[in-house]
Amino acid sequence: MADVARAAGVSSATVSYVLSGKRPVAPETRAAVEEAIAELSFTVNVTARSLRTGRSSLVALIVPDIVNPFYAQLAATLQEELRERGLHVVVCNTRARRDEEQTLLAEAVQQRFAGVIITPFRLKPRDFAPIVDAGIPVVVSADVSFGPMDLVTPDARAATRRALEQVAAAQRRRIAMIAGPRDATGGDPRLEHLRALALQLGMALPHDMVVRGEHTREAGAAGFAELMSRRHRPDALFCGNDVIAVGAMEKAHELGFDIPGDVALIGHDDASFASLVRPRLTTIRYPAAEVARAAAQLLTERLDGRKVHKTVRVKAEFVARASV
Amino acid sequence: MADVARAAGVSSATVSYVLSGKRPVAPETRAAVEEAIAELSFTVNVTARSLRTGRSSLVALIVPDIVNPFYAQLAATLQEELRERGLHVVVCNTRARRDEEQTLLAEAVQQRFAGVIITPFRLKPRDFAPIVDAGIPVVVSADVSFGPMDLVTPDARAATRRALEQVAAAQRRRIAMIAGPRDATGGDPRLEHLRALALQLGMALPHDMVVRGEHTREAGAAGFAELMSRRHRPDALFCGNDVIAVGAMEKAHELGFDIPGDVALIGHDDASFASLVRPRLTTIRYPAAEVARAAAQLLTERLDGRKVHKTVRVKAEFVARASV
DNA sequence: GTGAAAGCGCTAACAG
DNA sequence: CTGTTAGCGCTTTCAC
């Protein structure tokens, strides 16, 4: 920048102001500076800028499983949205482990990230105290609140209700669920949600019709095998997400159960493979791209100075395919 | 750091040396410093360090499509590997567009990234000149070389041969391929490779049996429809990657073709959904995790001072499933 | 074994 | 409308 200033016959402050536009610069001065910049193919040193201003251009995206297409899509859209505003996305995969979630959060503080967008899995609300105290804007994408931070959360009421209605219309009454692990934060709100709505519709989701496991195909397979070995088998099976659901579906094929003949299967998220499996998976779609846009919006508002925290609800949608 | 120095009654230089271990420090001094660090819960300012040393801890991963599970897995493993060495992965999605690839590469220079790991799609070798000149280590993950840089590349000879042999054993002779777009760099080496091997085995892959398109389900569907509308239909169809292949498979269902009865289908990569579709997709597996580990290794070697460029070959593997 | 001090490249007062 | 200058927090040479 000193070189540019010398070449243009101005001070380095002027070069800085030409770049940032934070104060008016005479047209001919600006022209001279821009020419010098082009001539020397100068680019600002972002590190020096960060050091001086105290804010970096890095945003951490912390998710349980980047290989899950839902999160991959989230990352892709987020990256696109934030790049327009000069921000970069650092992807952090926690593999749903609490220690990694904690480490990553701590590292975001240490690295002075500009912001964090996170889907917590086993974190507790109090784990967020250090990062909030550090003044780093945090957007949580989750079913429940984790404290005084921006939140993007699904509105799945209508979609879940429609799913249950369709199940009921098919004369299915024995509802079951393969939920997330018991020690996940909130103990899987999707389960509580489903149970409450089922009750409203005069159906029940008894505790012995719920099995739990990680958000993996293996857990889905194991859960399916367990539920179908019960004396009273379910005839409609909800899953915590689509990864679990396809695990269950694979197990169904293996054990010779027909879907939806023997049991209907309903997933969550509409991950890209949901429409590829056979039968096509009926699911409660949570639009990753929209979630990403909402999160990007909330984050930039915060960076622009908004003080109070906000919650954005993103509508989930029932996608009827062949598995019900 | 000044605070820590004051609390420990030493100079900030000593604190720095305690942290870096770059020069011996007396045990009791070290203890005092470490206590002060813990007391004040001090963490180094990475930005200041970067400015001073001239190297950041950021590595850009530039890929055509992060939603493709192959690249998602690559990102996940890479992130894991590099985090151990204090490096962070910034994910950059190009959507297979040349302009975005160029922008991202330029940005890596401007941001003074520590390194870049890239799967180029439409870039030309000369596009790499600026970043190489800037002294930023680049690892290319591709089928062909892009110049004097580290390269991770598949060794798919044996796997492709086995695929062709199995096709031949099933008395199939009319081979076709849905390849990548004509303007992709190198014009899809997988096609050239397949053609050469087919020739060796006494089979042919004539030009009119090749259609081209993006690496998308839509392109796969369109390609399948076109090939199957020919007077002489293929009975074995190779695809540039698994995304194309499932697109083709969907179209086959739609048009009432049986796979593998009417036509065998062979993908590339073994993306996670390949084993989920029906019939399960036979594919030439390119192990993303292994590629990531190789790339991480090459990159860190470079950062540690290796001057000459190296090439690592990662063996591809034929995965026989139900679609052949 | 330790300290003093220069300086990485930039931004934002402050001064004109 | 433009320039001067003081740091941001760290690493590293030089001196002791």
pLDDT digits (tens, 9 = 90+) for A22-41: 989 999 999 999 999 999 98
Q: For strand C, is any atom closer than 7 Å to the CB of B158?
A: no
Protein-proximal nucleotides of chain C (any atom < 7 Å from a CB): 1-5, 7-13
Is pLDDT above 90 for A323?
yes
pLDDT for position B105: 94
Helix (H, G, I), strand (E, B) or coil at A316: coil
B105 and B23 share one domain? no
Q: A131 falls in which pLDDT band (50, 70, 90)?
A: very high
User: What is the rounded radius of gyration, in angstroms, for the C-alpha atoms of chain A?
Assistant: 25
Residue A302 and residue B256: Cα distance in Å, rounded? 53
Q: For strand D, is any atom closer than 7 Å to the CB of B41?
A: no
pLDDT for position A221: 98
User: What is the rounded radius of gyration, in angstroms, for the C-alpha atoms of chain B?
Assistant: 25
B245 and B261 share one domain? yes
Query: Do B278 and A277 make contact, defined as CB atoms within 8 angstroms?
Result: yes
Task: Please give the mean pLDDT across all residues of chain A.
Answer: 95
* Interface contact B92, partner A, CB < 8 A: yes
A197 and A252 share one domain? yes
Interval A256-313: pLDDT, tens: 999 999 999 999 999 999 999 999 999 999 999 999 999 999 999 999 889 899 999 9
Q: Which residues touch B272 (CB under 8 Å, ≥6 apart)?
A: A67, A273, B69, B73
pLDDT for position B188: 87
B46 vs A contacts (CB less than 8 Å): 110-112
Is pLDDT above 90 for B85?
no
Is pLDDT above 90 for B186?
no
**Chain B CA closest to residue A41:** B110
Count Cβ atoms within 10 A of the Cβ of residue B261 and give its class: 0-12 exposed, 13-18 middle, 19 or more buried: exposed
**Residue A123 half-sphere exposure toward CB, CA atoms < 13 A:** 30
Residue A18 and residue A12: Cα distance in Å, rounded? 10
* Interface contact B245, partner A, CB < 8 A: no
What percentage of chain A reaches a pLDDT higher than 90? 90
Interval A175-232: pLDDT, tens: 999 999 999 988 889 999 999 999 999 999 999 999 999 999 999 999 999 999 999 9
Protein-proximal nucleotides of chain D (any atom < 7 Å from a CB): 1-5, 7-13
Residue B67 and residue B65: Cα distance in Å, rounded? 5
Nearest to B66 among A58, A76, A111 (CB): A76
B58 vs A contacts (CB less than 8 Å): 58, 88, 90
A29 and A99 share one domain? no
Say if A324 falls within a structural domain: no
Q: For strand D, is any atom closer than 7 Å to the CB of B231?
A: no
A148 and A169 share one domain? no
CATH number at B17 reads 1.10.260.40
B296 and B253 share one domain? no
Q: B187 falls in which pLDDT band (50, 70, 90)?
A: confident
Helix (H, G, I), strand (E, B) or coil at A91: strand
Is pLDDT above 90 for B304?
no
Specify the length of chain B in residues.
324
* Interface contact B69, partner A, CB < 8 A: yes
Task: Please give the mean pLDDT across all residues of chain B.
Answer: 95
Q: In what order do the strands lie in the sheet with A236-239?
A: A210-212, A175-179, A236-239, A264-269, A282-285, A317-319
Interval A148-172: pLDDT, tens: 999 999 999 999 999 999 999 999 9
Say if A80 falls within a structural domain: yes
A194 and A248 share one domain? yes
- Shortest distance between the Cα of A90 and any Cα of chain B, in A, equals 4
Residue B208 and residue A135: Cα distance in Å, rounded? 62
Residue B167: which of B210, B193, B197, B211 has the closest Cα? Answer: B197
Residue B266 and residue B275: Cα distance in Å, rounded? 12
B163 and B149 share one domain? no
Residue A204 and residue B117: Cα distance in Å, rounded? 52
Say if A319 falls within a structural domain: no
Say if A97 falls within a structural domain: yes
A103 and A66 share one domain? yes
**Chain B CA closest to residue A54:** B47
What percentage of chain A reaches a pLDDT higher than 70? 100
Say if A262 falls within a structural domain: yes
Protein chain A, residues 11-30, with a C-beta closer than 7 Å to any atom of nucleic acid strand C: 12-13, 16, 19-20, 22
Helix axes B69-83 and B288-303, enclosed angle (nearest 10): 40
* Interface contact B53, partner A, CB < 8 A: no
Which structural domain, as residue segments, surrounds residue A307?
A: 53-153+288-313
Protein chain A, residues 50-79, with a C-beta closer than 7 Å to any atom of nucleic acid strand C: 51-53
Residue A228 and residue A62: Cα distance in Å, rounded? 35
CATH number at B277 reads 3.40.50.2300
B117 and B180 share one domain? no
Q: B265 falls in which pLDDT band (50, 70, 90)?
A: very high
* Interface contact B276, partner A, CB < 8 A: yes
pLDDT for position A247: 97
**Residue B79 half-sphere exposure toward CB, CA atoms < 13 A:** 25
Say if A135 falls within a structural domain: yes
Say if B319 falls within a structural domain: no
Compute the average pLDDT of residues B155-172.
Answer: 96
Residue A55 and residue B47: Cα distance in Å, rounded? 9
B88 and B65 share one domain? yes
- Per the structure, how many domains does chain A have? 3
Say if B321 falls within a structural domain: no
Q: B123 falls in which pLDDT band (50, 70, 90)?
A: very high
Q: How far is the CA of B14 from the C1' of D16 (A)?
A: 15
* Interface contact A272, partner B, CB < 8 A: yes
Q: What is the 3-state secondary structure (H, E, C) of B126-154?
A: HHHHHHHHCCCCEEEECCCCCCCCEEEEE
